[in-house]
């Protein structure tokens, strides 16, 4: 599975995933021109875009993608907040009693799942390739994951901050208490991510991409070292 980071962070998030037969975008929080460049000006080969929630740093170019003929998948509640007009290429995630229904996009099987953020119905995605047998977990903007996963080979996951850095900034007055409170209730810490990994089947895990790290509260060296020590996998900070 080939993973390309087009953008990551509060200014925009977009990731390109390819299993040699099917090409996907994960979120679309950057200008459409940047997406064209990131896809090698071959946007017509992208089979779909999976959007996690309506915030602009994740959904900025959804309307442009639809106009360009790319199928977009996202929760109805999030699409309605965006004011996205009806389109035959806009696909709402289907609810079931215990979550969401899975669906295919090319050679990928997609399973959405709820995450914990401050929007109406934010989700992450479990993406399994029938072509390669690999399994990617993608989540961002969530302070906690309520589910556990098996057989993962790749993770693109948020570690927005480490607690020590946040408290240092609170004490020196550079981070207001209100901002810190939102971090704690809407984004994932290093400690929480490590707890998730400890409770997850990582025997097949090869690569972890740390995404959406805070410029102010994320220590890249500390975070990558801790995650590598926990899993033994290759770790990349986006």
pLDDT at residue 45, rounded to an integer: 96
Residue 93 neighbours by CB under 8 Å, 6+ apart: 73, 74, 75, 76, 100, 101, 112, 123
Which CATH superfamily includes the segment(s) 2-237? Ribonuclease Z/Hydroxyacylglutathione hydrolase-like (3.60.15.10)
Residue 175 confidence class, pLDDT cut points 50, 70, 90? confident
List, in sequence order, every residue forming a beta bridge with 138; answer none if it has no partner. Answer: 125, 156
Mean pLDDT value across the chain:
94
pLDDT at residue 165, rounded to an integer: 84
The sheet that has 135-139: what strands, in order across it?
A: 103-105, 108-114, 123-129, 135-139, 154-158, 207-211, 234-237
Distance CA 189, CA 118 (A): 16
pLDDT at residue 177, rounded to an integer: 81
pLDDT at residue 17, rounded to an integer: 98
pLDDT at residue 11, rounded to an integer: 93
Residue 172 in this model has a pLDDT that exceeds 90:
no
Residue 171 confidence class, pLDDT cut points 50, 70, 90? confident
DSSP letters, 135-151, are: EEEEE-S-S------SS
The residue among 234, 47, 225 whose CA lies nearest residue 154 is 234
Distance CA 143, CA 146 (A): 10
Whether 212 contacts 141, CB under 8 Å = yes
pTM recorded for the entire structure:
0.95
Residue 204 in this model has a pLDDT that exceeds 90:
yes
Distance CA 238, CA 15 (A): 10
CB count within 10 Å of CB 69 equals 10
Domain ranges of the chain: 2-237
pLDDT in tens, 147-158: 999 999 999 999
Q: What percent of the chain stands above pLDDT 70? A: 100
pLDDT at residue 210, rounded to an integer: 97
Q: What percent of the chain stands above pLDDT 90? A: 82
pLDDT in tens, 93-140: 999 888 999 999 999 999 999 999 999 999 999 999 999 999 999 999
Give the residue-averaged pLDDT of 11-23.
Answer: 97
Q: Assign residue 2 a region: left if phi > 0, alpha if psi is -120 to 50, beta otherwise?
A: beta
- Report the first-to-last Cα separation within the chain, whole angstroms: 17
Give the residue-averaged pLDDT of 202-230.
Answer: 93
pLDDT in tens, 32-83: 999 999 999 999 999 999 999 999 999 999 999 999 999 999 999 999 998 8
């Amino acid at each position: 599975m080939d993973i390309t980071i087009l953008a990551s962070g509060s200014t925009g998030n977009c990731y390109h995933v390819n299993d040699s037969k099917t090409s996907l975008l994960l979120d679309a929080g950057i200008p459409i021109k940047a997406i064209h460049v990131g896809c090698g000006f071959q946007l017509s080969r992208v089979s779909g875009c999976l959007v996690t929630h309506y915030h602009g740093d994740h959904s900025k170019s959804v309307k442009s993608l639809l106009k360009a003929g790319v199928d977009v998948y996202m929760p109805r509640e999030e699409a309605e907040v965006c004011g996205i007009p009806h389109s035959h290429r806009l696909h709402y995630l289907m609810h079931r009693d215990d979550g969401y229904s899975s669906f295919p996009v090319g050679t990928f099987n997609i399973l959405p799942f709820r995450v914990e953020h401050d929007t109406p119905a934010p989700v992450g995605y479990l993406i399994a390739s029938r072509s390669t047998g690999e399994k990617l977990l993608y989540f961002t903007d969530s302070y906690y994951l309520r589910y556990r996963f098996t057989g993962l080979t790749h993770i693109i996951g948020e570690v927005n901050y480490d607690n020590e850095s946040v408290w240092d900034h609170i004490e020196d007055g550079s981070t207001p208490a209100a901002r810190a409170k939102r971090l704690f209730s809407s984004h994932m810490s290093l400690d929480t991510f490590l707890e998730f990994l400890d409770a997850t089947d990582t025997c097949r895990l090869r690569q972890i991409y740390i995404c959406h790290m805070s410029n102010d509260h994320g220590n890249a060296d500390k975070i990558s070292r801790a995650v590598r020590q926990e899993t033994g996998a290759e770790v990349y900070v986006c």
